[in-house]
Structure 1
């Protein structure tokens, strides 16, 4: 076989092989790993905020996420996922005032008296939350 006849034959074989491997326009498969969710892993909510655990206040995106209710005198972990420093400061009475660096955690001892305790960040006037003790 001459070289001039072998080249077109090789091109036909290569074209057939590439066609067999090409996209047929059908559905695609996403091979991204599926995250494993555990009780201690916080997942973002639909609005981008990070979910808080049972006894956890999470600061994310310059907003607080708080548990629905906390037992009187309980220990609450405050997790700051922002890079900025924040506080969890009671609006009245000096009941609690926790300063927390970006990316750090701190612990708050909840007041022993049931009630709703409004709080804010002293550095960011738009950040407010309510801690319900019951």
Structure 2
């Protein structure tokens, strides 16, 4: 019997328009869609500040993981898509602040642009929840 997926949505208009969710969990596997630095009103968070944008992405990722019973400590892989690799140190500081004690595999890739030109980074995360630990 297939394990049903648990999903959480951003409640942004593009969830339905594009047909995706913010996070999906099936058994111990969790996938967080690409997250950009949105503020609570739906605008761009910290335009022009690469480290602050990355930190905001991780805040949103942490909440998404929590919505399906996971945490940032469960993350095993991140992918950072950035519009300027020149900011790698700022993005890396934000990543290190979150994952220093439990580093995941990661990739940073420069891309030409995002849907909103003020966004400097988009981050995806994959997690694995050790269900034996979760039950303890």
TM-score (norm 2): 0.29
Structure label with greater radius of gyration: 1
Larger relative contact order (CA 8 Å, sep ≥ 6): 2
TM-score (norm 1): 0.29
**Higher helix share goes to which structure?**
2
